[in-house]
Structure 1
Amino acid sequence: MKTDFKFSNLLGSVYRKGNLTYTADGTCLLSPVGNRVTVFDLVNNKSHTLPFAHRTNVARIALHPRGQLLLTIDEAGQAILSHFQRRIVLYRFSLRDKENRSVSALAFSPSGTHFAVAIGRKIEVWKTPSTPGSVETKGDEDDDGGLEFAPFVRYRQYVSHHDAVQSLEWSSDSRFFLSASKDLTARIWSLDPEEGFTPTTLAGHRTAVYAAWFSNDQETIWTISKDGALFRWQYLPPPDVNLEMVTEEDERWRISERHYFFQDQANLTTAAFHAQSNILVTGFSNGLFMLHELPSFSEIHKLSISASKIDTVSINKSGEWLAFGSSALGQLLVWEWQSESYILKQQGHFDSLNALTYSPSGDRVITCADDGKIKVWDTASGFCIVTFTEHTSGVTACEFARRGNVLFTASLDGSVRAFDLIRYRCFRTFTAPKRLSFSSIAVDPAGEVVAAGSLDDFDIHIWSVQTGQLLDQLSGHEGPVATLAFAPNGSSLVSGSWDRTVRIWSVFARTQTSEPLQLQADVLCVAVRPDSKQIAVSTLDGQLTFWSLSEGAQEGGTDGRRDVSGGRKVSDRRTAANAAGTKSFNTITYSADGSIILAGGNSKYICLYAVETAVLLHKYTVSVNLNLEGTQEFLNSRLLTEAGPQALLDEAGEASDLEDRLGKSLPGSKRGDAAQRQTAPAVRVPGVAFSPTGRAFCAASTEGLLIYSIDAGVQFDPFDLDVDVTPASTLKTLADQQWLKALVMAFRLNHQTLITRVYRSIPEADISLVVRDLPEVYLDRLLRHVAKETDSSPHLELNILWLESLLRQRGRALKEKQGEYAEVVRMVARAVARVQGEVIKVAEGNTRTANYLLGQPRENVAVATAQKRLGDGYGANGVDAGAIEDEEMGKDEAGVGDEWVGLD
């Protein structure tokens, strides 16, 4: 089984902090999620996360007007210039000043030649690196690559504001730009020295100016402040002065109109202006947003979309879609104001994840968290499709029934619930005779029995799914039950406890017996191999041991303390190597073929082991975000003060704004508090799961749901290649009708386009011969390719012929080597099931259409023909219409004409 998994997507979090921005065509929305950036395709209903990551949370993002370059800056002032379409990092640079002030505003000029960035009260303008096809490189034939060697060159610096700059806005000709600051003023700057122009200060607001914009004709400037005051500025002479006596020196920018937003106990938190349509969007701290048309200031919409403040708003180029982000609850909304409908409405978990599981088909991932919510994520689109809120406390475990679309969850509220994922409703609730907080769950393969364990009680509770009644309470453990797992063949139930034992229960036997397996430390997690022959046990001392399920004897083990340990918290007095809290695996899972095992714990590492040799194959770093505790191996001694670590000091009382100085959260609260947290969340991995196809695995982390895939980024992976195998020789072999040789050469090159061309060129009559003579080493690749073609291409009959021939002639090999071909057979089954569902839908639709048409009455054919020929008394061929009518009347007298009959 391949193990070259790479990061492919981040789910479970749609918005964290920062600004939102649209692409040039307005179809995609870029949202910062922690130290990464996620792109939401609003037209195709898909999302993907860019592969690069910052060291701290992303503060500002800006996209080049041509859509090629993406500039992201984090809270520490580190900037990453990346190619947006190719998703690769081009350059890294630091914009941090001596006072370590963060970047508060960022904007590209409309021409794309410069970008302005606000660092505290200072504004810097930098040159944009030239790209292939831009004005700087057109006609330059010697330019190889188009990117400058030193892309970041500072063009000019502007220092006149007395407080932090909050907004930057360019004019349409890229000659001037506006800045709005907390010093109650807005200023007009010129990029280059202009004759007769001097930097102008727009003063008159009583609170911090949030933003300033140019109108579409550049004749008007709009400024808006925190208290909801909107000022219109125009280049006017002094009031109450004879216009004939006014000179050009007397004209200056003056306030022509004043408007106010009256919001009780709420401040303006964000605003955006669309100059082409004169639409102003404002967001407030009470979750309300308003839409106005300028310059009349007429209110168009007023809607509450969040329970907390709106952090940012963005308008696409056409002015139709409004994007809102709220960081308190992790909400992201895209609203079309003309039709008053949601284009996108997503919200991630606002508390830490606890567990996850894949659906049997592999196209859904279910996550549960401490916020009491259960979310179902679509792996293809990356969106949350449904949220269950029936639980009243944190959800600790979830598991799918192998047969049917039924999800079982356990919660701290003392209930175990069953959800129907076809109708999306909770249809069964299981409770114990006494109030318990359930922490683990297991479902038998048939989906008839569900078992749950609790940290408050030493018994295992078993219910019937059909009736909801409590069947039995298994007693035997002398400590809290930490983990449960049913064997895939349904023969036994495996439980692990803090009493340092693992028990194997024969639940369906006449006499329920349990066989204890003694270990050296508390049991944290148990996993059963898919063939039901082996179990893996993770204990508190960091040991990973493998036991035979039938004989109850240990078959192997490995010490994972050094592999999983890593990451030092700010409050730790020991180094990461000596911290005991990160030296064990809290969650383990087998792959689909049972050859590798995946393990994670309270550290920043995910470990991948080979089962037979117990060798560490790969070690994945979950996050490098310094805003999370436990991502650093060594602490910086410069951040230690006399009062303790600087990160633990409460510096909110030194903030400039009153609402930032007020403490709204409980001291030391980590979760369960609706206000802001005062302690940074720690990086951990509470759950991992392999996809049923084996091509991906997901991990629940502090930042969200991480998905690692094999297919991501692999473009050229040759196999058994020699100098004679080239794309040209493969096409020549295909032209010579040597089908098998051409297919093998294409597989050796591993060029997907070439493989597809050869695959579709083989005649139907020769498919069985090619399958029969194909070397077995290429069977896995052919099955995988046929599954992909069946899932995506419209050649239905061709794909079915390939599948029929493969299963008919190679079915024995697939059955004998189930472990080797398990995940690719799952891919084929999933593709066939999807095609079957689509064909059934088309057939049912055609049946209903045919029944409808057959039930419709129709007029006599002769009458219909006559009516078609009727014109102005004569038909198209000059036939007298009256004669036709007389003829039809004669038929009526005979009882035949003008009769309505069915098509049948």
Structure 2
Amino acid sequence: MEIVALVALTLLLGALVVLVAFAVGKRKEELRVQAEQTSNCAAEGVAAKGPATKKHKQEKQQRSRKDKLSQHNFTHPLLASSLKGHNGYVTCLDFSSNGKYLASCADDRTVRIWSTKDFLSREHKCLRANVELDHATLVRFSPDSRAFITWLANGDTIRVFKMSKKEDGSMSFKVASDDFPLKHKAAILNIGIAETGKFIMSASTDTTIHIWDLKGNILASINTNQMNNSYVAVSPCGRFVASCGFTPDVKVWEVCFAKTGEFKEVTRAFELKGHSAGVHAFAFSNDSHKMVTVSKDGTWKLWNTDVEYKKQQDPYLLKTVPCASSDGSLAALSPDGRVVAISDGCNLTMYDASGGELEEQMLGVHALGITDLRFDVTGRFLACSGDRAVRVFHNTPGYRAAIRDMQDMLKKAQNEAMKQRLRQQISDAQKALAAAVQ
């Protein structure tokens, strides 16, 4: 009997061990899946910044092809369209200055050119420019909207594509004879072309910014002295280059040319000082008279930069608003300066710039984080990229802000012709707002 009891006890203990091992294994698997889902929505090293660090590059390479290419479904009342032509991870987008096109690039070795007039259509056709033996992580239109530049992921350089119309009306793309020479030693953050057409900018994650002429010759190099760069951009007016990074400041330089067109120098213009931690990103209004910054301190700030900086006048702070932010957060400011958009990982929020009120919130816009964010030149739409798609939203906060401003102007107007014109503009804006929220 003792032997039988001992055998029974042994079997019971064995069964318990098996059950415990199974439970532990199951819990580990649950934690692993949860960790992967959290990681996917962290938006690390995204954006117009491209592959920001070696760590981010490795993490991107480690994502399985299946996870990277899976299509993320998203709906929202303000979603005007989802542009789904890419077969790879979309890293960057840009609107042409004539308002007709949106360009997007992905790791599927293509740049897609979309027509903005099709945003509200059911079908969104696009033109495809192939990036031979490489893929583009960044894309920017030329001022005349007849060319665009790309940053090559493997070549670590700038490649120029020229756009031209064929006799049948279709578009063709021709690659410039030579890529720009290799000059950066760290991962690239951003590229840009001045609206004046006088220079091209490229910036990397160390402290380096290069100013190029259009033929690929370096005109000047800037050391930002910010430990590292987190974001760099050219102002819409084409006069300034600004950078932010480890320090709580945004530094702005003016790229100066002689009246005859020759490059002169790069000089410090002004700084934005007020955050208590490093700045993730910033954006200009269309006339460069305002800037918005988003920081690790959990706020965004709106600045008046229409100052006489050559007389040592500093920009002044207009608004400070709490917001959610994280590494890779981006900021966008509508062309008229009325609306601020902030990305935080997979999520997107829109604020009234004047009062700072939260107007709209879109959660889970992209599964793997938002990689680029910008308004179109008319201010009607806000676009962001990520996963295999570009999401285009109606800028309803912009319509509401414009209506409020025009109503205030109507109360103060004394000229009857001005009153009539404002009433018509208010009516048009109200109709556009009603159509956008249907």
* Alignment TM-score, normalising by the size of structure 1: 0.27
What residue number does 1:436 align with? Answer: 227
Retained in 2: the 8 A contact 1:464–1:471? Answer: yes
- Residues of 2 paired with 1:564 and 1:376: CA distance? 29
Classify the secondary structure of the residue corresponding to 2:233.
strand
- Matching residue within 266, 289, 295 for 1:491: 289
Q: What's the CA shift for 1:359?
A: 1.8
Post-superposition shift, 1:526? 1.0
Rounded Cα–Cα distance in structure 2 between residues aligned with 1:593 and 1:489: 13
Q: Distance in 2 between matches of 1:48 and 1:357?
A: 12
The answer on whether the counterparts of 1:458 and 1:479 sit within 8 Å (CA) in structure 2 is: yes
| Secondary structure, aligned partner of 2:396 | coil
Match among 332, 345, 355 for residue 527 of structure 1? 332
Tell me: CA distance 1:2–1:48, structure 2 relative to 1, closer, same or farther (3 Å): closer
Residue 521 of structure 1: how far off its partner (Å)? 3.5
How far apart are residue 435 of structure 1 and its match?
6.4
Q: Using a 3 Å threshold, how does the CA distance of structure 1 residues 473 and 559 change in structure 2: closer, same or farther?
A: same
Correspondence for 1:378 among 153, 162, 178: 162
Match of 2:150 among 352, 367, 392: 367
Query: Does structure 2 retain, via aligned residues, the 8 Å contact 1:399–1:441?
Result: no
Counterpart position of 1:446: 237
**TM superposition shift of 1:481:** 1.9
For residue 344 of structure 2, what is the amino acid of its counterpart?
T
- Residue in structure 2 matched with residue 418 of structure 1 by the alignment: 211
**Distance verdict in 2 for CA 1:589–1:444, change over 3 Å:** closer
* Cα 1:452–1:403 shift into 2, 3 Å: same
Give the structure with the larger helix fraction: 2
Deviation (angstroms), 1:414: 2.0
* 8 A contact 1:369–1:394 mirrored in 2: no
**Is residue 384 of structure 2 the alignment partner of residue 599 of structure 1?**
yes
| CA distances 1:845-884 after superposition (whole Å, capped 9, x unpaired) | xxxxxxxxxxxxxxxxxxxxxxxxxxxxxxxxxxxxxxxx
Among 358, 374, 379, which residue is 2:141 paired with?
358
Q: In 2, Cα distance between the equivalents of 1:536 and 1:373?
A: 30
Which residue of structure 2 lines up, in the alignment, with residue 186 of structure 1?
A: none
Give the deviation of 1:397 after TM superposition. Answer: 0.8
2:349 is aligned with 1:537: no
Map of 1:461-476 to 2, 5 A cutoff? Answer: 461-466=251-256, 467-476=265-274
- C-alpha contact 1:495 1:526 (8 A) present in aligned 2: yes
1:209-268 alpha-carbon deviations (Å, 9 max, x no partner): xxxxxxxxxxxxxxxxxxxxxxxxxxxxxxxxxxxxxxxxxxxxxxxxxxxxxxxxxxxx
Answer yes or no: is 1:553 the counterpart of 2:356.
Answer: yes
- C-alpha displacement of 1:564: 1.7
Q: Which amino acid aligns with 2:189?
A: T
Distance 1:400 1:507 in 2: 21
Listed one character per residue, the Cα deviations across residues 60-81 of structure 1 (whole Å, up to 9, x for unaligned) are xxxxxxxxxxxxxxxxxxxxxx
* SS of equivalent to 1:464: strand
Percent identity between the two aligned chains: 19
CA deviations over 1:700-757 (Å, ceiling 9, x no partner): xxxxxxxxxxxxxxxxxxxxxxxxxxxxxxxxxxxxxxxxxxxxxxxxxxxxxxxxxx
State how far apart, in whole Å, the 2-side matches of 1:404 and 1:397 are.
Answer: 17
Q: Which residue of 1 aligns with 2:179?
A: 387
Q: Secondary structure of the equivalent of 2:173?
A: coil
Name the larger-Rg structure. 1
Change in Cα spacing, 1:361 to 1:348, as seen in structure 2 (3 Å) is farther
Aligned-pair CA distance for 1:537: 1.3
Aligned 8 A contact 1:397 1:439 in 2? no
The answer to whether 1:457 aligns with 2:247 is yes
Q: What 5-or-longer segments of structure 2 have no aligned partner?
A: 1-78, 91-105, 114-129, 165-171, 257-264, 308-312, 399-420, 430-438
Relative to 1, partners in 2 of residues 1:437 and 1:491: Cα closer, same or farther, differing over 3 Å?
A: same
Number of the residue aligned with 1:300: none
Structure 2 CA distance, aligned partners of 1:597 and 1:462? Answer: 25
With over 3 angstroms needed to count, the CA separation of the structure-2 counterparts of 1:482 and 1:591, relative to structure 1, is same
Specify the code of the residue in structure 2 equivalent to 1:376. Answer: V
Distance of 2:112 and 2:336 partners within structure 1: 34
Matches within 5 A, 1:749-898: none
CA–CA separation in structure 2 for the residues paired with 1:461 and 1:364: 29
**Distance in 2 (alpha carbons) for counterparts of 1:349 and 1:464:** 33
> How far is the alpha carbon of 1:507 from its aligned partner?
3.0
CA displacement at 1:8 relative to structure 2? 9.1
Residues 107, 137 of structure 2: 8 Å contact kept: no
Q: What is the identity, as a one-letter code, of the residue corresponding to 1:428?
A: A
Deviations 1:486-528 (A, max 9, x none): 1112211211222221122233433432232211333711112
Query: What is the alpha-carbon distance in structure 2 between the residues aligned to residue 363 and residue 493 of structure 1?
Result: 28
Instruction: Please report how far the alpha carbon of residue 452 of structure 1 lies from its aligned counterpart in structure 2 after TM superposition.
Output: 0.7
Give the Cα separation in 1 of the matches to 2:253 and 2:333.
21
Q: Which has the higher contact order (CA 8 A, sep 6+)?
A: 2
* Deviations, residues 255-306 of structure 1 (Å, cap 9, x unaligned): xxxxxxxxxxxxxxxxxxxxxxxxxxxxxxxxxxxxxxxxxxxxxxxxxxxx
Shift of 1:463: 1.6
Q: CA contact under 8 A between 1:370 and 1:393: conserved in structure 2?
A: no
Q: Is the 8 A contact 1:564 1:585 kept in 2?
A: yes
Contact 2:83 2:391 in 1 (8 A): no
Q: Identify if the C-alpha distance between structure 1 residues 34 and 469 changes in structure 2 by more than 3 Å, giving closer, same or farther.
A: closer
Where 2:275 maps in the other structure, the secondary structure is coil
Give the equivalent residue in structure 1 for 2:366.
564
Change (3 A) 1:348 1:529: farther
Three-state SS of the structure 1 residue aligned to 2:393 is strand
Q: Distance in 2 between matches of 1:2 and 1:604?
A: 17
Q: What is the identity, as a one-letter code, of the residue corresponding to 1:406?
A: F
Decide whether aligned partners of structure 1 residues 482 and 387 sit closer, same or farther in structure 2, where only a CA change above 3 A counts: farther
Deviation at 1:3, TM superposition (A): 5.2
For residue 403 of structure 1, what is the aligned residue in structure 2?
196
Taking a change above 3 Å as real, the CA distance of residues 362 and 597 of structure 1, as seen in their structure-2 partners, is: same
Q: Secondary structure at the match of 1:585?
A: coil
SS of the equivalent of 1:468 reads strand
User: Within 2, Cα distance between the matches of 1:506 and 1:592?
Assistant: 20
Task: Give the aligned length.
Answer: 269
- 3-state SS of 1:469 partner: strand
The 8 Å contact of residues 492 and 505 in structure 1, kept in 2 or not, is answered as yes
- d(CA) in 2 for partners of 1:390, 1:409: 10
Unaligned runs of 5+ in 1: 13-32, 39-46, 50-331, 333-345, 566-581, 615-811, 821-904
1:526/1:537 contact within 8 Å kept: yes
SS in 2 for 1:545: strand
Question: Is the Cα contact below 8 Å between 2:244 and 2:250 reproduced in 1?
Answer: yes
1:456-506 deviations in Å (ceiling 9; x for gaps)? 333222222123233444332233322121111221121122222112223
- Residues 438 and 520 (structure 1), Cα distance of their counterparts in 2 relative to 1, 3 Å cut: closer
Q: Tell me the alpha carbon deviations over residues 81-123 of structure 1, each in whole angstroms, 9 at most, x when there is no partner.
A: xxxxxxxxxxxxxxxxxxxxxxxxxxxxxxxxxxxxxxxxxxx
- Any residues of structure 2 matched to 1:255-274 within 5 Å, and which? none
Contact 2:352 2:359 survives alignment (8 Å) = no
Quote the residue 1:329 is aligned against: none
Q: Distance in 1 between matches of 2:200 and 2:148?
A: 11
Q: CA deviation at 1:368?
A: 2.2
Q: Retained in 2: the 8 A contact 1:403–1:445?
A: no
1:358: Cα distance to partner? 1.7
Q: Which of 516, 519, 527 in structure 1 is aligned with 2:320? A: 516
Write the distance in 2 (CA, Å) between the matches of 1:532 and 1:48. Answer: 28
Distance 1:444 1:564, change over 3 A: closer
Using structure 2 for the length normalisation, give the TM-score.
0.52
**Cα–Cα, structure 1 residues 441 and 6, in superposed 2: closer, same or farther, change >3 Å?**
same
Are 2:376 and 1:585 equivalent residues in the alignment? no
